C-alpha cells in the first residue's frame, strides 16, 4: 500500500494534513513542516525498487519501502531526523487507525534521540545593558519613521524578554490583545492556545507609548512584522550593543526562563508562562539551577560549617 498505489497515498497525506489542521489545531508553521516531510517521504517511496537485492529478504514489502524511504534522511542531523521520523510515525499511526493500513508500521519508525543542548541565555546584566542601549537609541534625532522604528525595536526586545514570547507570537500580537488597565497581554501560542501574560508596570507603560499604526503592535507597512525581520532586529541590536555571542529572539525567551527559575519560580508556573504543552519541555531549564543549588548547599548543608 505504501508504494503500490501512489496516487491514493498522496490523497491520504492531504487528508492527514487536514486532520492535523482541523482536529489537532496545528500551527501554520507546523503544517508547512509536516507537508514538506510527508511529500519528501512520498517521493522516496516512489523511488523504491522491491526487486533490489538489498530488500530481497523482506517478507513485508511495505516495511522494506518504509526502511528505504527513512534511509534517505540518514545524512541529516539527529534533530532534523527526529522531527521527520516523528511526522512519518504519526502519519502511519493515523493510516492504521483509519484502516488504510492493514498492519501497523508506526512502531518500526525509530526517532533518533536529540542531543540536549544548553539553551543560550543572557545574564541579567547583559539584558539590562541591551535594554538601556535600545532605549538610548530612541532619544537620538531622526525622522519620525526612524524614531518609530527605534521605539518599536526597543519594545520588541523588551516584550520578547519580559513576556518570554516566541518571535512568531510577538509578531502576531494585536492592540486588542493588550489590556493596559490590567497590565496584561493575550498571546496566541502553538496550537492556537491562548495564554495571558502579566506585564511588569514599566513594560506596560512603555507599550502604551508606542504609536498605533495598524491593528498589529509590531507592524511594517500596516502588516504584521515578519518573523525574519524581527529576528534580524534582535540580532543587530545585540551586535550593536556589544554582546559577545550572537543574539536571537529565542535566547531572550530562554533568558527570562533562566532568571525566573533561578529566582525561585517553580516549573509548573514557568511551564504556564512559556506555553509549553508538557513539563518535559520546561525541564531543560533545571540545569541552570545548578549554581543556585550550590549556593543553597553551602548555606544550609549540615556539614557546611565543618
Task: Please give the positions annotated as active site.
Answer: 166, 190, 250, 253, 276, 285
DSSP 135-160: HHHHTS---HHHHHHHHHHHHHHHHH
Is residue 119 within 8 Å of 283, Cβ to Cβ?
A: no
User: Alpha carbon of 264 to those of 160, 259, 269, 274, 297: distances in Å?
Assistant: 21, 9, 11, 16, 15
Quick one: DSSP state of residue 174? B
Coil, helix or strand at residue 216: strand
Q: Of the candidates 221, 245, 211, which has an alpha carbon nearest to the alpha carbon of residue 126?
A: 245
Q: Of the candidates 55, 51, 62, 50, which has an alpha carbon nearest to the alpha carbon of residue 9?
A: 62
| Phi, psi angle pair for 185, to nearest 5° | -140, 135
Terminal CA-to-CA distance of the chain, rounded, Å?
71
What is the enclosing helix (H) or strand (E) of 277? none
Q: Of the candidates 157, 135, 302, 181, which has an alpha carbon nearest to the alpha carbon of residue 238?
A: 157
Count the Cβ atoms, other than its own, within 10 Å of residue 188. 17
Amino acid at each position: 500500500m505504501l508504494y503500490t498505489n501512489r496516487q491514493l497515498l498522496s490523497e491520504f497525506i492531504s487528508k492527514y494534513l487536514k486532520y492535523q489542521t482541523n482536529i489537532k489545531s496545528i500551527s501554520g508553521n507546523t503544517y508547512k513542516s509536516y507537508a514538506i516531510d510527508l511529500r519528501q517521504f512520498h517521493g522516496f517511496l516512489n523511488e523504491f525498487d522491491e526487486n533490489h537485492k538489498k530488500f530481497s529478504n523482506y517478507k513485508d514489502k511495505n516495511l522494506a519501502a518504509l526502511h528505504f524511504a527513512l534511509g534517505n534522511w540518514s545524512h541529516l542531523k539527529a534533530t532534523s531526523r527526529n522531527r521527520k521520523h516523528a511526522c512519518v510515525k504519526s502519519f502511519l499511526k493515523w493510516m492504521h487507525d483509519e484502516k488504510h493500513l492493514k498492519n501497523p508500521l508506526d512502531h518500526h519508525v525509530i526517532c533518533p534521540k536529540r542531543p540536549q543542548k544548553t539553551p543560550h541565555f543572557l545574564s541579567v546584566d547583559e539584558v539590562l545593558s541591551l535594554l538601556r542601549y535600545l532605549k538610548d537609541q530612541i532619544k537620538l534625532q531622526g525622522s519620525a519613521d526612524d524614531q518609530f522604528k527605534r521605539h518599536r525595536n526597543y519594545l520588541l526586545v523588551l516584550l520578547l524578554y519580559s513576556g518570554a514570547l516566541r518571535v512568531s507570537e510577538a509578531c502576531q500580537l494585536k492592540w486588542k490583545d493588550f489590556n493596559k488597565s490590567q497590565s496584561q497581554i493575550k498571546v496566541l501560542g502553538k496550537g492556537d492556545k491562548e495564554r495571558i501574560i502579566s506585564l511588569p508596570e514599566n513594560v506596560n507603560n512603555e507599550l502604551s507609548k508606542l504609536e498605533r499604526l495598524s491593528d498589529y503592535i509590531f507592524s511594517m507597512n500596516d502588516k504584521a512584522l515578519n518573523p525574519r525581520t524581527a529576528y534580524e532586529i534582535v540580532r543587530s541590536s545585540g551586535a550593536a550593543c556589544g554582546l559577545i555571542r550572537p543574539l536571537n529572539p529565542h535566547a531572550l525567551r530562554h533568558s527570562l526562563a533562566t532568571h525566573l527559575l533561578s529566582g525561585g519560580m517553580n516549573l509548573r508556573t514557568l511551564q504556564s508562562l512559556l506555553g509549553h504543552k508538557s513539563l518535559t519541555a520546561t525541564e531543560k531549564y533545571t540545569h541552570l539551577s545548578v549554581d543556585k543549588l550550590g549556593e543553597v548547599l553551602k548555606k544550609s548543608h549540615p556539614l557546611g560549617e565543618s
